[in-house]
């Protein structure tokens, strides 16, 4: 952020905001609170909603390009969910590789991103997420557990299984107000069948796959779970 943002650019963007009220100061706050290091640079800015990428494109476009190796505003994200295109990883020694994890994130169109959404939006996204997840069957069939009110025994179980979300403690996330209202509207979708777990957090989904030394298995399961939720 500091490499791109100039006084002139700030003056040009400071009066702008998205329809949901996300401002230029909101975009850069986490970078202002957490200056980077010459050898360990961070992005230093965030987007609050889909509209942010257009309203603040003068700042965000060059940062995205730098962060993602020349990614242009006209480029489109390429998604390949065919696990057969994966190369390697199926012959790892289980004496050293005990588990593998695959993560997929999706946002729900029409809602602000986690750092800017309202309590009402989070409630709506939780209801929408749980409704979709409750329709899953097969290896993805499971139950939604809200973090708020969760018993100590269930928390211990999910912690031991490496599925429970920790409250954000990173200065970068705290600077982006990602921990507000924790743990309200935060939950985990836990499967009946292991080693596949499909979990939800706020309004993005993460699919975790655990298997002994077999990341390809995780990748092969991920597309089906992601696609099933998106259909709902």
| Backbone Cα Rg of the chain | 20
Is 162 annotated as a binding-site member?
yes
* DSSP structure string for the chain: -TTT--HHHHHHHTT-B-TT--BHHHHHHHHHHS--BTTB-------SSTTHHHHTHHHHHHHHHHHTTS--TT--------GGG--S-SS--TTT----------PPTTS--TTT--HHHHHHHHHHHHHHHTT--GGG-EEEEESTT--HHHHHHHHHTT-PPPPP--HHHHHTTTTTTTTTT-EEEEESSSSEEEEEETTEEEEEE--TT-HHHHHHHHHHHHHHHHH-
Is 99 annotated as a binding-site member?
yes
Closest Cα partner for 128 from 219, 207, 230, 42? 230
Rounded CA separation 54/44 (Å)? 18
Is 221 annotated as a binding-site member?
no
Rounded CA separation 74/8 (Å)? 25
Is 119 annotated as a binding-site member?
no
Binding residues for ATP: 99-103, 162
Binding residues: 99-103, 162
């Amino acid at each position: 952020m500091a490499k791109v943002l100039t006084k002139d650019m700030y003056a040009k963007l400071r009066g702008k905001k998205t329809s949901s009220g996300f401002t230029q100061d909101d975009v850069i706050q986490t970078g202002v609170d957490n200056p980077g290091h010459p050898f360990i640079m961070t992005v230093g800015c965030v987007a609050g909603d889909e509209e942010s990428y257009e309203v603040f494109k003068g700042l965000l476009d060059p940062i995205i390009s730098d962060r993602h190796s020349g990614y242009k505003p006209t480029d489109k994200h390429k998604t390949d969910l065919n696990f057969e295109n994966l190369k390697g990883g199926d012959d790892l020694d289980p004496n050293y590789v005990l588990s593998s994890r695959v993560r997929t994130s999706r946002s729900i169109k029409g809602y602000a991103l986690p750092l800017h959404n309202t309590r009402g939006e989070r409630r709506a996204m939780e209801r929408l997420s749980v409704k979709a997840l409750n329709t899953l069957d097969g290896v993805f069939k499971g139950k939604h557990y809200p973090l708020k009110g969760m018993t100590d025994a269930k928390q211990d179980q999910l912690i031991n299984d490496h599925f429970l979300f920790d409250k954000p403690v990173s200065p970068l996330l705290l600077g982006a107000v990602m921990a507000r209202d924790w743990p309200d509207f935060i939950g985990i979708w836990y499967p009946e069948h292991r080693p596949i777990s499909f979990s939800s957090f706020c309004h993005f989904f993460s699919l975790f796959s655990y298997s002994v030394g077999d990341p390809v298995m995780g990748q092969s399961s991920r597309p089906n779970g992601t696609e099933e939720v998106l259909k709902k």
